[in-house]
Amino acid sequence: MSLRPAYLAGLLLLLGLGLLALGVCVGSTGFENLLQTLLHPSEGPEQTAMARQIVGEIRLPRTLGAWAAGALLGLAGAVAQGLFRNPLADPYLLGSASGASLGVALVLAALGGNAGMLGGSMMNGGAAVSVFSSSVLVRLGLTGAAFAGAVLAVLLTLALSRGVQHTLRLLLAGVVVGVVLGALTQLVLLLSPDSLQAMQAFMLGSTSFVGWTSFTLMLSVWWLCVLAAWLLGRVLDGLSLGEATAQSLGLPVAPLRLALVAVLALATGTAVAQTGLIAFVGLAAPHLVRSVVKTTHGWLMWLASLMGGTLLMGADILARGLMAPQELPVGVLTAVLGGGYLLWLMHRSSSRGGSL
């Protein structure tokens, strides 16, 4: 199956709008009760105001925030796979996930007993709203620690690899940094067992705390990163033919590769800081795009972003609706769905004698 890139972009935008409309209707309150209150405001002004607040201040920014986080991860996945010329590369390959986890673990350990309360609220969508309003500083501290940890981990990877001149060395340095920082995270949690519940919520991923501020931040960073990646798409096209070919085309490979790493780190760090670790979206989104359309990396940046946003928005709606009023961690759902898709893709490729 092959579609023109513009048609696929339009299809993903329409699907995203449909999921947005569905997302504002799904939650613990129930679609029927919410719709009845909005359509019949005479039943009580307090109930109507509450219903409008649920839609305007909780469900709408959360649904849009899920799209923005997915768009960042989809973009980061496309950059990583093009940069390393590896279809199995994901946004967390340079150690950003382990760095963000260590940053959050250190803050949770400093919080002590409050960590358990925060972690419990993240697993419960209804309680999360009240805790968010009463612990804004805690949330900002966790967000800042996750972002700082992700960026510092990437910088450490660059230092160990002695720059970006050698892709294989950069890849190995990212693996080493991820393992070491992951071990340090486990050590921190071992010394602070009260933080385990909150840390589990971060590791599983959640959009419960995403509000208008978080959505605006992620959307702004996404625009900056996707424009930069689009402008650098020619570099990825050249690198896909080999580094020698890219240099023969007159491309300054080293500085442009560093710019791509910066885009990868910024997009991944921003998404992780707001939603925690959400698996497989960044890995699966570029694969889904390439399975339906053949295009250059410039178009791939936009399409992978739209695909990632659509995937995470749909997964978030499922996470809220499958077991309402309880909700599943969205990271668990994306891992199951994304992992199943990649297993099917590998099976299909092996049966055809091809590769991913």
Mean pLDDT over each residue of the chain, to the nearest integer = 80
Query: What residue type is assigned to position 277 of the chain?
Result: L
pLDDT at 294 over 50: yes
Q: Domain 5-352, CATH 1.10.3470.10 — does that match?
A: yes
What pLDDT, in 10s, does the model give residues 225-254? 999 999 988 888 877 766 666 666 666 767
Closest CA to 23 of 74, 68, 82: 68
Once rounded to an integer, what is the mean pLDDT over residues 84-89? Answer: 82
What pLDDT, in 10s, does the model give residues 297-331? 889 999 999 999 999 999 998 888 777 677 788 88
| Alpha-carbon distances of 337 from 141, 298, 313, 318, rounded to whole Å | 31, 27, 13, 11
pTM for this model (two decimals): 0.83
Q: What is the band of 93 on the pLDDT scale with cuts at 50, 70, 90?
A: confident
- The rounded distance, in Å, linking the Cα atoms of 80 and 253 is 15
